[in-house]
Amino acid sequence: MSASIAVEIKQLAHAEGLPLPAYQSAHAAGLDLCAANSADAPLLLAPGCHMLVPTGLSIALPVNYEAQVRPRSGLAAKHGVTVLNAPGTIDADYRGEIGVLLINHGAEPFTIRRGERIAQLIVAPVVRAELISVATLSETARGVGGFGSTGR
């Protein structure tokens, strides 16, 4: 059984009638987020364009936790639509509406209808780094090699 934590969630007025985020399978890591645009005004995401899509949700995460907004693989595979700033980070002290910044990398316009599952939300613990200024770093076999240096 997975560990769980309590996360307070507030459904804003423009999300009334939409389901709260939910895990879609027994071992899913992410809660699906839905679009909270108007039912009579679908959003059209043109190829190469991006837009901030409202979810109508605000959350209160416990201290030392974050939430990440990640793409849904089905939208990416079928339509080329993904989260532009993946993963988007929601800090424990943020209380505003969760927005999903989508981009259409596909060749066709993508219509976002009210209630459509557009992203997933992952809640995870945070470890804060204590940065220590030093004059030199320890040596490793890899050293300064980066950007494909281990792929030879």
Sole residue written with tokens 């066709």: 108
Residues 6 or more apart in contact with residue 138 via CB below 8 angstroms? none
Span 113-125, mean pLDDT?
98
List binding-site positions for substrate.
72-74, 85, 89-91
pLDDT at 1 over 60: no
pTM of the model: 0.89
Report long-range pairs for 122-126 (Cβ below 8 Å, ≥24 apart).
122/29, 122/30, 122/31, 122/67, 122/68, 122/70, 122/87, 123/5, 123/7, 123/31, 123/61, 123/65, 123/66, 123/67, 124/65, 124/66, 124/67, 124/68, 125/64, 125/65, 126/64, 126/65, 126/66, 126/92
pLDDT-based confidence at 144, cuts 50/70/90? confident
**What one-character DSSP code corresponds to residue 18?**
S
Q: What are the structural domain ranges in the chain? A: 8-125
pLDDT digits (tens, 9 = 90+) for 15-73: 999 999 999 999 999 999 999 999 999 999 999 999 999 999 999 999 999 999 999 99
Sole residue written with tokens 């560990």: 3
Which of 87, 51, 72, 59 has its CA nearest to residue 119?
72
pLDDT at 135 over 80: yes
List binding-site positions.
72-74, 85, 89-91
Q: How many CB atoms lie within 10 A of CB 12?
A: 15
pLDDT at 86: 95
pLDDT-based confidence at 152, cuts 50/70/90? low
Architecture of domain 8-125 in CATH? Distorted Sandwich (2.70)
Span 85-98, mean pLDDT?
97
- Percentage above 90 pLDDT, the chain: 89
pLDDT at 118 over 60: yes
Give phi and psi for 126, each to the nearest 5. -115, 135
pLDDT at 141: 87
